[in-house]
Amino acid sequence: MEMPAPNQAILGLKDRLVARLQTVLPADAVIHDQAETRAYECDALTAYKCPPLCAVLPSSTQEVSDVLRICHEMGVPVVPRGAGTSLAGGALPTADSVILGVARMTEVLETNYDDRFVRVQTGRTNLSVTGAVEADGFFYAPDPSSQLACAIAGNIAMNSGGAHCLKYGVTTNNLLGVTMVMMDGTVVELGGAHMDAGGLDLLGLICGSEGQLGVVTEATLRILPKPEGARPVLMGYDSNEVAGQVVSDIIKAGVLPVAIEFMDRPCIRATEAFAKAGYPDCEALLIVEVEGSDAEIDEQLGLITQIARRHNPVELRESTSAEESARIWLGRKSAFGAMGQINDYMCLDGTIPVSQLPFVLRRIGEMSKEYGLDVGNVFHAGDGNMHPLILFDANKPGDLEKCEAFGADILRLCVEVGGCLTGEHGVGIEKRDLMVDQFAPDDLDIQMAVKDVFDPQWLLNPAKVFPLDASAKRRAA
Amino acid sequence: MMTPQTEAELAEMVGAAQGPLHVFGGGTRPIGRPVTGEALSLSALSGIVEYEPGALTLVARAGTPVAEIEAALAAEGQRLAFEPMDHRTLLGTEGAPTMGGVVAANVSGPRRVAVGAARDFLLGVRFVDGTGRVLKNGGRVMKNVTGYDLVKLMAGSYGTLGVLSEVSLKVLPQPEAVVTLTLHGVDAAGALEAMTRAITSPYEVSGAAYLPGDTPRVFLRIEGFAGSVAYRAAQLKTLLADLGQITQTDTPEESADQWRALRDVELLAGCANVWRVSMTPSALVDRLLPALGDALGPYQLDWAGGLCWLGADAGAGAADMHTRLQALVADPAINAGGGGHATLIKGDAGLRAQVPVFQPEPAPLAALTRGLREKFDPRGILNPGLMG
């Protein structure tokens, strides 16, 4: 993955820039020592690293505004950073950029149960938003698997999803309003605590814009009353086709589970060896979770198991207790860790129409042989969001490149069958150069035109999302 | 009048247009500032392109009648969960509401409070921008963060950023059972209390509305599998028992009729002017309604108090009422958290030309809106001025 060469003139501004930033931030909030800036050289896409010019850790919207105004005046690019958990390189700096981290902005600003919202600073982690309201019976629905660590800022930038979005939607469906600082330091309020936009839906445009349109410092989030309970059922099948059919039949039957998770054989074997969750050794495994009171759960699980039985499962295990539920989820939740035990891996994130599941899995299997790299599939089957994990050896020369080429082929396949490159991780640098496979030049041009409106100089996270050659003129202007 | 038969023809017509275009679907929603321009009807760009019940997705051309889509979905036991309002009764219009129109105006109904708005169910769009380019964004899958989300931007843009040619939607299963509970004899404060208790309970209501008047009533809808509906209805009755007498519908048809009337705001069909106000429930019910004093005419609350439909008769200072409503929404003493909006939904063309129909935006947002319009429609020919 290529990044633009740093602007030498900007590198030469470092001392002056740091001095100016120190006038608006406390001394410990401006990190410019070369040894210390290394802490910000990458996010969770660790294959790519580059220390920034400096990093700043503001504590308020005002401080963010001051930082952006200075960078704007000096023409210095800014890369916003939440918790640095992006798998797509969304927070990867360039040598001539300032990392603007929101890690110190973690306050809960307002909690309103009657109107069902919470307002937080965006450095707060996803899980701790729920943590702030769960004692009172509420929760924040989007649950990306990195929710212990990931920040709301990054969730908004990437429009994060999670396992439970089949029922509750993704970030954009649960985001009511934001305070955002524009690149020139102007502070704007988009949305509020009310429902729907009064004019153009600028809030909807901001969510998922990968930190390229503004820096979101505060967010008003919808909170929901916690369901009385939830329980999963686990089922195993001897073919991916049959498991795919079961998913489709469940959805058509009118049940709306909160989650339908799917694992294929390589993934089942790896997690079984690692977590020993007692999963059956079969081709495809489904975990379907439903919510409600005990009686409601029984009613829904009854219907689901009835459908499951029609397709001759090799295993069907309905949870009747919290312990059994935890055991069923154990393997799924440790799937990534388990794959990581075996090897280095790259986690993909394409989405496909659910009906294409068996075909896509078969093709991935064939490509796996062609490339000579193993791949395990774990994904949110209800909404077609796949997470193929390609195993490779980072120490073996050429393996990373081979893995990236394989990954690109899988994502192109997703687009070919009517899906998309990324369901919840975002484009970042990882899928930047594949955008031409999903979008025509005009489709990309209108998106870049939106950035022209919000950030005319292209200073905010400029080398992401769009292929470098497509954005070259705009970045240079 | 131009009625393109294909997307390519639409693109050609927009590209070749020499002046402003008045873009519309079924023409059942004359909302916004009146547009002067050559008529461009999407009614011929019609038909369901693809429907996959097992994937909960449907793709249709913009001019497809909503009724046609609802019938296709019903045949598979599915529906548009955001329950788009049919404006014909309220606005006294005729014609067939189209799916593109629903999306362009981001039209939702009572279930919006539980499941989201039209924009939340919109997965992808194809549209023609003001220069005649055919553009696409989003797709037909439920999770998609590839590039900027122009899908949300197009929803509710009233044809001012582009002319929709095709929309892709998430659909949901119809429930097995539905029951509506009616709580009788409560004032607005009591209604808010009841709706808040219900919507913040785990018993999942899919509609919470209030009609004041001589026989004031709160309506709470419960949908799902039969056993679950019965259980939740019983729990809600217990939860609200201290607030007043509660009755329950006997048949699904009875419930459907009630919610259709609420969805279409039939109560205010006789009013010459109707406003739609979205704020937090507490700001709306505890502060905005009392602040209106004697000016408060007939109204209906929906979305558990987060939406208010206000009606007024012709003549009597409609422009003043409009100005006052938008000022109250913008008043920090009424609406401490900011946000919210009051929109004139029904009014004669003279009034709609005279007032800012949509809530005016603060200067920095207005500048962004203007900037976006200049990019999407550089010649300013798509429904110019409709949104102000």
| Distance of alpha carbon B130 from alpha carbon B40, whole angstroms | 13
Is A386 inside any structural domain? yes
Q: How far is B229 from chain A (nearest CA, A)?
A: 9
Q: Which residue in A379, A446, A454 has the most chain B C-beta atoms within 10 A of its own C-beta, making it the best mutation to test that interface?
A: A446
Let me know if the fold of B7-173 is the same as that of B266-354: no
Reported as a pLDDT band with limits 50, 70 and 90, residue A337 is: confident
Is A428 inside any structural domain? no
Q: Residue A332: what pLDDT?
A: 85
* Nearest chain B residue to A212, by CA: B148
Whether A424 sits inside 8 A of B145 (CB atoms) is: yes
> Using only C-alpha atoms, what is the Rg of chain A?
23
B7-173 sits in which CATH class?
Answer: alpha beta
**Fold of the domain spanning B177-263:** Alpha-Beta Plaits (3.30.70)
Residues A270 and A324 in one domain: yes
> Which residues of chain B neighbour A200 with C-beta distances below 8 Å?
153, 156-157, 161, 369, 372, 387
Torsion, CA B155, CA A170, CA A197, CA B45, rounded to 10: 10
Burial B355-371 (b: 16+ CB within 10 A, else e): bbbbbebeeebeebbeb
Q: CATH number of the domain that A395 lies in?
A: 3.30.70.2740
For residue A1, pLDDT over 90 is answered with no
Range of the domain at A370: 343-416
> Which residues of chain B neighbour A136 with C-beta distances below 8 Å?
none
Q: Residue B185: what pLDDT?
A: 97
Q: Residue A127: what pLDDT?
A: 96
Identify whether the C-beta of residue A386 lies closer than 8 Å to the C-beta of residue A350: yes
Identify whether the C-beta of residue B41 lies closer than 8 Å to the C-beta of residue B163: no
Is A1 inside any structural domain? no
> Which residues of chain A neighbour B375 with C-beta distances below 8 Å?
446, 449-450, 452-453
Q: What is the ipTM of this complex?
A: 0.97
Is B319 exposed, middle or buried (CB count within 10 Å of its CB: 0-12, 13-18, 19+)? middle
Q: Residue A275: what pLDDT?
A: 84
| Distance of alpha carbon A317 from alpha carbon A442, whole angstroms | 50
Residues A98 and A117 in one domain: no
Q: CATH number of the domain that A273 lies in?
A: 3.30.70.2190
Q: Residue A162: what pLDDT?
A: 85
Q: Count of CB atoms within 10 A of residue A36's CB?
A: 12
Selecting from A115, A161, A253 the residue whose C-beta is nearest the C-beta of B281 gives A115
Q: Which residue in B108, B120, B126, B141 has the most chain A C-beta atoms within 10 A of its own C-beta, making it the best mutation to test that interface?
A: B141
Q: Which residue carries 């209805």 as its tokens? A: B233
Q: Residue B242: what pLDDT?
A: 98
Q: What are phi and psi of B48, to 5 degrees?
A: -80, 125
Q: Residue A458: what pLDDT?
A: 98
Residues A218 and A126 in one domain: yes
Which whole number is the average pLDDT over A419-437?
96
* Nearest chain B residue to A294, by CA: B228
Residues A217 and A113 in one domain: yes
Residues A122 and A221 in one domain: yes
Which of A333, A360, A386 marks a domain boundary? A333
> Which residues of chain B neighbour A433 with C-beta distances below 8 Å?
none
**Fold of the domain spanning B266-354:** Alpha-Beta Plaits (3.30.70)
Which of A333, A362, A381 marks a domain boundary? A333
Reported as a pLDDT band with limits 50, 70 and 90, residue A166 is: confident
On whether any CB of chain B is under 8 Å from the CB of A167, the answer is no
Q: How far is B172 from chain A (nearest CA, A)?
A: 8
Q: How far is A254 from chain B (nearest CA, A)?
A: 5
Q: Residue B215: what pLDDT?
A: 96
For residue A222, pLDDT over 70 is answered with yes
Q: Count of CB atoms within 10 A of residue B43's CB?
A: 21
Is A304 inside any structural domain? yes
Q: Which residue in A181, A189, A201 has the most chain B C-beta atoms within 10 A of its own C-beta, making it the best mutation to test that interface?
A: A201
Q: Which residue in B145, B235, B239, B276 has the most chain A C-beta atoms within 10 A of its own C-beta, making it the best mutation to test that interface?
A: B145
Residues A121 and A18 in one domain: no
Is A72 inside any structural domain? yes
Identify whether the C-beta of residue A237 lies closer than 8 Å to the C-beta of residue A283: yes
Which of A45, A68, A103 marks a domain boundary? A103
Selecting from B176, B278, B338 the residue whose C-beta is nearest the C-beta of A196 gives B278
Residues A79 and A183 in one domain: no
| Distance of alpha carbon A421 from alpha carbon A352, whole angstroms | 9
* Nearest chain A residue to B174, by CA: A254
pLDDT digits (tens, 9 = 90+) for A169-193: 999 999 999 999 999 999 999 999 9
Greatest alpha-carbon span in chain B: 65
pLDDT digits (tens, 9 = 90+) for A298-323: 999 999 999 999 999 999 999 989 99
N-to-C CA span, chain A: 23
| Range of weakest confidence among A2-16, A272-286, B222-236 | A272-286
Reported as a pLDDT band with limits 50, 70 and 90, residue A342 is: confident
Q: How far is B304 from chain A (nearest CA, A)?
A: 9
The structural domain count of chain A equals 4
Identify whether the C-beta of residue B274 lies closer than 8 Å to the C-beta of residue B346: yes
Whether A426 sits inside 8 A of B145 (CB atoms) is: yes
Residues A58 and A13 in one domain: yes
Torsion, CA A117, CA B123, CA B95, CA B306, rounded to 10: 0
> Which residues of chain B neighbour A380 with C-beta distances below 8 Å?
143
Residues A87 and A134 in one domain: no
More confident: A249 or B9: B9
Is A92 inside any structural domain? yes
Q: CATH number of the domain that A203 lies in?
A: 3.30.465.10
Q: Residue B336: what pLDDT?
A: 87
Q: Residue A432: what pLDDT?
A: 97
User: pLDDT (tens digit, 0 to 9) for every residue of chain B, 388 residues total?
Assistant: 999 999 999 999 999 999 999 999 999 999 999 999 999 999 999 999 999 998 899 999 999 999 999 999 999 999 999 999 999 999 999 999 999 999 999 999 999 999 999 999 999 999 999 999 999 999 999 999 999 999 999 999 999 999 999 999 999 999 999 999 999 999 999 999 999 999 999 999 999 999 999 999 999 999 999 999 999 999 999 999 999 999 999 899 999 999 999 999 999 999 999 999 999 999 999 999 999 999 999 999 999 999 999 999 877 689 999 999 999 999 999 998 888 999 999 999 999 999 999 999 999 999 999 999 999 999 999 999 999 8
Residue B102 carries which side chain, given as an amino acid letter? V
Burial B192-223 (b: 16+ CB within 10 A, else e): bbbbbbbbbbbbbbbbbbbbbeeebbbbbbbb
Tell me how long chain B is. Answer: 388
What angle, rounded to 10 degrees, do the helices at A322-333 and A335-342 form? 40
pLDDT digits (tens, 9 = 90+) for A28-50: 999 999 999 999 999 999 889 99
Whether A422 sits inside 8 A of B146 (CB atoms) is: yes
For residue A355, pLDDT over 70 is answered with yes
Residues A328 and A386 in one domain: no
Reported as a pLDDT band with limits 50, 70 and 90, residue A252 is: confident
> Which residues of chain B neighbour A199 with C-beta distances below 8 Å?
341, 358-359, 361, 365, 369, 387-388
B124 three-class SS: strand
Map out the domains of chain B as residue ranges.
7-173, 177-263, 266-354
pLDDT digits (tens, 9 = 90+) for A366-396: 999 999 999 999 888 888 999 999 999 989 9
Is A423 inside any structural domain? no
On whether any CB of chain B is under 8 Å from the CB of A465, the answer is yes
Is A146 inside any structural domain? yes
Q: Residue B316: what pLDDT?
A: 65
